Every structure is written in structure tokens, then in C-alpha cells.
Amino acid sequence: MNLTGLTDLPDSRGHFGPYGGIFVAETLMAALDELRVEYDRARSDPAFMAEFEYELKHYVGRPSPVYHARRLSEAYGGAQIYLKREDLNHTGAHKINNTIGQALLARRMGKKRVIAETGAGQHGVASATVAARYGMECVVYMGAEDVARQSPNVFRMKLLGATVVPVSSGSKTLKDALNEAMRDWVTNVESTFYILGTAAGPHPYPMLVRDFQCVIGRECLVQMPELAGRQPDAVIACVGGGSNAIGIFHPYIPHEGVRLIGVEAGGCGLASGKHAAPLNAGAPGVLHGFRSYLMQDENGQIIETHSISAGLDYPGVGPEHSYLKDAGRAEYVVINDDEALAAFHDLCRFEGIIPALESSHAVAYARKLAPTLGQDKIILVNLSGRGDKDINTVARESGITL
Amino acid sequence: MSRIGQTFTALKAHNRKALIPFMTAGDPGKGLTVPLMHVLVEAGADIIELGVPFSDPMADGPVIQRASERALANKVGLKDVLAMTAEFRKTNTTTPVVLMGYANPVERMGYETFARAAQAAGVDGVLTVDIPPEESAGVSDVFKAHGLDPIFLLSPTTPESRVEQVAAVADGFIYYVSLKGVTGSASLDTGEVARKLAMVRKHCKLPVGVGFGIRDAATAEAVARIADAVIVGSRIMSEIEAAPEGECTNRVKHMVAELRRGVDAASK
């Protein structure tokens, strides 16, 4: 496999092989073109990149540490498990890396109003945070269903000055919030910057979100040799839209010896049909402006997804993951709700870390993989977010009344 | 010449403008779509735009979103829409039918398979909202090879430099979206639209239809004065939505007849 070629994507029109692209109505074409041109300028502008790095260091608290989870490794009985602590970032997840980058772009383009979609609320909070930080108006679209199950994050967004708009169309979850954000953007395209939360959507979003999130993997490339004496044998990350995963995978793509493993939400199990695992059980299609693997029925209608974690509850996946799957450079597996919940408790009890339910999927796969590898092997898990937002869900699933 | 081309040529010969009503297939009921298509024609439609229901209609406002949801609840998909067109064609061989929808149902069926089936059913044109010319390489050619006119959108945000590029792949007519927003948005500025159409016509010889924001005889007349076709969707779907059971046909007939009077008033 020619590994270096894999990092040269996308092409100038946003294609990762057959995936990606720009599938939007005409009204947005000019805005996407403007964004592509401005981002090209920004990333070769040392002043822009210096400000981005300054903000990551002094506002977000980067670099986030890598931590050797010794007790967890011992309990799982095999490979050594290291955690990339994105949960320690300001606002509690990797999402802020991207929202800072996009807010700086918005400011550069003279846009005073930003909009965002959110599922679990982490991207909504990260967007509201940067809007407050840079003095912008912020509107967050959130499925009515998610507003109900993630109420602490809704309140956080409001505290930060954002307007949260519940979306009651379709399945009332993340995909519908994204539809509504697109509708807002098409209406207010001249005044508004759309801060897309994951490495998906029309070009150039999958590329620019990846680029902003790649700080995760680049730090690991330096930190792992310092801490463990070498690069890991496997990198594991959860995949909803896939921004934390592509952020840690991408810098590792040329490192042939490193397995890249994305973990999709298996929900109640693939056989039940109640899951959010398009790479494992979907088919290629077009949604939300790009081509990728999708959860869809035989008529091409998008089907409702299920996951215990709202952040993974999405029927599509970033186009670069579809490409890496077909190219065989990354593997994609599933972890069911119950396995994720068990891993959530493991990390709480063995390491004193309360992980997000999304990230718990990655930990759960480490639990499966570690015993199959020797104790001299190294697994790096991207702990993409902290789990404070999930305590109500976990209590309910565990039959506990708070 | 395609049925769409013939329609515009005939209208032009009589100094008339086209009225193109839109209707979501399968709403309010699966069995009502074909009768409603005939009603549209009786009331004055020159071309019918038939909406293919999709679970995630990103470019549509609440009225057409709800129509799409009701159609999906009635289990209407792309195959059914093709069957409805074939049924309509049994008694009407002159009124062009344009399918309007999103890429994924067509992508899932396969572009070649779809194009062959659409041609056999008597479809004349296809507008896939989320396939811009940049992504249409291959798609438009397949459509054209099966006698389907690929219809494309232009919008207020389309730069002049792009119009030629769109015109190069488009056929049948151009759909000019009168305003920034989703279907069913409020008011349109005909002065602004007229200025934009003058620019479009410099680069494009196809007839130009204008849609979004047309809701009565007066707005239909105003648009008919500057465009080759008047396209109306949400206004008709809101009549269907509001109609008590059994009233749907009458409501649609009256609405389209009113729009027809508006369009014809522009030719006087």
C-alpha cells in the first residue's frame, strides 16, 4: 500500500476517491467556494496559524497529556493502554480544537453571526464558547429529542449567550439539527458562518475540520516516544461523524506499523437494526452535502439511528473514513451500548476518570483488544471527552434514581 | 426536441408563459397523486413538477418538509413516483413531468437504472437539488442519453462566471431560485429578480423559470412578466395540507386556476 498518497487527499473538489465532494443546492455553492479560498489563504498565513496555536495553548490548555492507564491495563490483562486526554481540554472535549479554528476563520471573513448543529451538545457548547470568546452572535440547532436528554449542555449554551433552537422535524436528532442549520445558512448566507462540528459535510469542511483536529495526532507523535519510548501498535477512537478519530488517525497514516481502529456505535447490536454503524452496516450514498457510507433503506431514505451516546447517533460518517475503510488503512469495528457502559464504569473505578459515553466505546474496544496482545504491546485510546454530561443517562441505564 | 422544449416553443408561439406547479408525490394519499396531476393540467399547468419524497429535505421549508413526511408515512418512494408517472401517461401524453428531489434515492437505485426506468415511465426532466454541475459529470450524460432533461438551479448568489458552466450541462429549462432561503420563504423582489435574469440570459439560451415566494395571482403575474415560467410549490402544498378530507381536489383546482389567471394576465 502506498501510504503517503493517502494523506494527499482530498482533491481540489473535495473528493476522497468516490467519497466527499460538494452535494448542496446552488445557493450555497458560492459560500462554500468563498470558504475554500479563504481557508487556503489562512492556512498558509503564519499569523493565522500562530494565533490558532496561541489559542490552543492558552485558552484550550494544549497540549493535552497522554496518560498511561496502568490499573486499567492490568485489569484488562494484556497490552499497555495509554489515553490521549482530550477530556481535559477547556469545555471537556476535542470539539473546541475545531470551533476555535472555524471562529478565527469567521472573524477573518468578517462574519458576525455563527450557527452550529449539535447532538450531545458538546459541539454546541464549544461553538457557544468561542462565540462568547470572540464576541459573535451564536445560534445552535439541536434535535428536540437531544434537548430533552442533554439538558445540562442546553443550559451551558444558554449561559454562554447562545440561542438554542430545538428542531422537531424528522427524527428530532442530530441529522435533523444539521438539516435545519443548513436551512438557516442558505437563508442568511451572507452574514453567517456555519461552524460544522464534525469532519463531514460539503467540501471544504471535512478537510478543514480534520486539519484543525490533527493537533491531537501530531501531539501523540511527540508524546508517545517520550512517555512509552515508541509509537503505539494500535490507535483506537470512537467514530460518529469521525472528527476525533480522523484527528488522531491522520498523522499516523504514514506510520505503517500502527493499526488505526475506529469504533462505531453498535447500539442494541447490528442484528437488531438499532445502531449507528454506517461503515459496518450501511451503504454509500449522499447526505448533508457529501458522499459516504450511510444508514439507509432500500429506497435510499435515511433510517433512524440508535446509540446510548447522543454524539454517535448519526446516520453518516466523514468521507475520509469511508475512504480509509475501502483502502484498508483503517479498520472499523462496533461496540454495543452495554459494552460501552461497562467500559465507562471501568475507567471511573480503575483510573478515576469519568469518560464521555462516546469515548467509552473506544475504551470498550481496548478491553477486547488488549488481552489478545502481549503486555509489551501498546494501545493508544483517544479519550475524546469527559462524561459529566452523561451522568443522567448512565444513572438511568443502571437503574439508579439521582 | 424534448416534450419540455416543445412545450416552451408552443407557448412562445402564442406569446404565453408557462405555469409549473409542484406537488409532492404521495401526499395526501398514494392514490390521490395521479388524479391530482390531471387536476393540475385541467386547471392550467403546462409542466408538472413532481416531488420525490426524501427523509432529509435540506433545501425545503416546513410546508414541503411536512408533505414529504406524510408521503413517506404513506410508504411512497422513488419507484412509486415512477409508477405514478407511468399511470399519468396512460391518458396524458403531452404534459411534461419533471421529477424534483434529492440525490440519495436516485443514487441508491443507480443512475443508469433510474434513467432507463424514468424514460420508460414517461418522465421528461430531472432536478436533483443537491447535485450541482460540479458533481453532475456522468449523471447529466446518463440522463440525456435516456431523453431526460437535466434541470439545474441558479440562485441570487450564483456569480456571473458560473452561469455559463451551469448552462453547459443543463437542458429543458433553468430553475432560477428567486431568493436566498428554503422553499416557502416569504416575499420576492421582482426588480432584483429581473436584473439577475437579464444577466442569466446573456449566458444561457434555455427558457428560465422562477420559483420561491410566488403565492397568488399578483405575484404569479409579476414573475410571468420577467420569466418564461412561473414555478409554485409550497403555496399549493399548503392548500393540500389545509384541505378537509374530500376537499383537496377542489382547493388545488382553484389555487392553480388563480395562478393561471395571474400568469395569463402578464401576456395581455
149-208 of A, contacting B, C-beta below 8 A: 169-170, 175-176, 179, 182-183, 186-190
Mind telling me how many Å the CA of B188 is from chain A's nearest CA? 13
The catalytic position among A55, A86, A117, A219 is: A117
Residues 6 or more apart whose CB falls under 8 angstroms from that of A322 comprise: A16, A19, A279, A284, A291, A292, A293
Of A21, A186, A189, the CB nearest to B59: A186
Exactly one of B27, B46, B60, B124 is catalytic; which is it? B60
Residues of B in contact with A284 (CB under 8 A): 107
Residue B184 has pLDDT above 80, yes or no: no
Residues 39 to 68 of A: which have CB under 8 A from any B CB?
none
The catalytic position among A55, A64, A73, A95 is A95
Least CB–CB distance from A301: residue in B72, B131, B181: B72
**CB contacts, 8 Å: B162 with chain A:** 29-30
Set of cell numbers at residue A259:
493499526
Query: A286 at the B interface (CB within 8 A)?
Result: yes
Mean pLDDT value across chain B: 95
Q: How confident is the model at residue B83 (pLDDT cuts 50, 70, 90)?
A: very high
How far is Cα B205 from Cα B101, in angstroms, rounded to an integer? 25
State the ipTM, two decimals.
0.96
Q: Which three three-digit cell numbers place residue B170?
A: 443543463
pLDDT on residue B43? 98
Q: Residue A196 in 3-state DSSP?
A: coil
A12 interfaces chain B, CB cutoff of 8 Å: no
Angle, CA of B195, B197 and B203, to the nearest 5°: 120
Identity of residue A333: V
Residues 6+ apart with CB under 8 A from B19: B44, B45, B46, B220, B229, B230, B232, B256, B259, B260, B263
Nine-digit cell string for B217? 395571482
Residues 6 or more apart in contact with residue B221 via CB below 8 angstroms: B262, B263, B265, B266
Closest approach of chain B CAs to the CA of A143, in angstroms? 13
By the CB < 8 Å criterion, does A304 face chain B?
Answer: no
Q: How far is B114 from chain A (nearest CA, A)?
A: 12
What is the C-alpha separation between B208 and B268, in angstroms, rounded?
Answer: 20
Q: Quick one: average pLDDT of B150-179?
A: 95
Q: Identity (one letter) of the amino acid at A12?
A: S
Model confidence at B186: pLDDT above 80? no
* Cβ contacts of B158 on chain A, cutoff 8 Å: 26, 29-30
User: Lowest-pLDDT range, A138-152, B77-91, B108-122, B137-151?
Assistant: A138-152
Strands B149-150 and B125-128: parallel
The answer to whether residue A12 is catalytic is no
**CA-to-CA distance for B147 and B125, rounded, in angstroms?**
8
pLDDT by position in tens, chain A (length 402): 566 678 889 999 999 999 999 999 999 999 999 999 999 999 999 999 999 999 999 999 999 999 999 999 999 999 999 999 999 999 999 999 999 999 999 999 999 999 999 988 999 999 999 999 999 999 999 999 889 878 889 999 999 999 999 999 888 889 999 999 999 999 999 999 999 999 999 999 999 999 999 999 999 999 999 999 999 999 999 999 999 999 999 999 999 999 999 999 999 999 999 999 999 999 999 999 999 999 999 999 999 999 999 899 999 999 999 999 999 999 999 999 999 999 999 999 999 999 999 999 999 999 999 999 999 999 999 999 999 989 989 999 988 888
Taking the mean position of all CA atoms in its chain, how far away is CA A365?
Answer: 17
Distance (Å, whole) CA A225 – CA A257: 14
Catalytic one of B27, B42, B46, B49: B49
Which residue of B lies nearest to A23 if distances are taken between CA atoms?
Answer: B130
* Model pTM score: 0.96
B78 closest CB neighbour out of A188, A288, A300? A300
- Residue B188, pLDDT > 90, answer no
Q: Is A230 on the interface with B (CB under 8 A)?
A: no
Q: pLDDT value at position A148?
A: 84
Are the Cβ atoms of A182 and B177 closer than 8 angstroms? Answer: no
Give the pLDDT of residue A400: 86
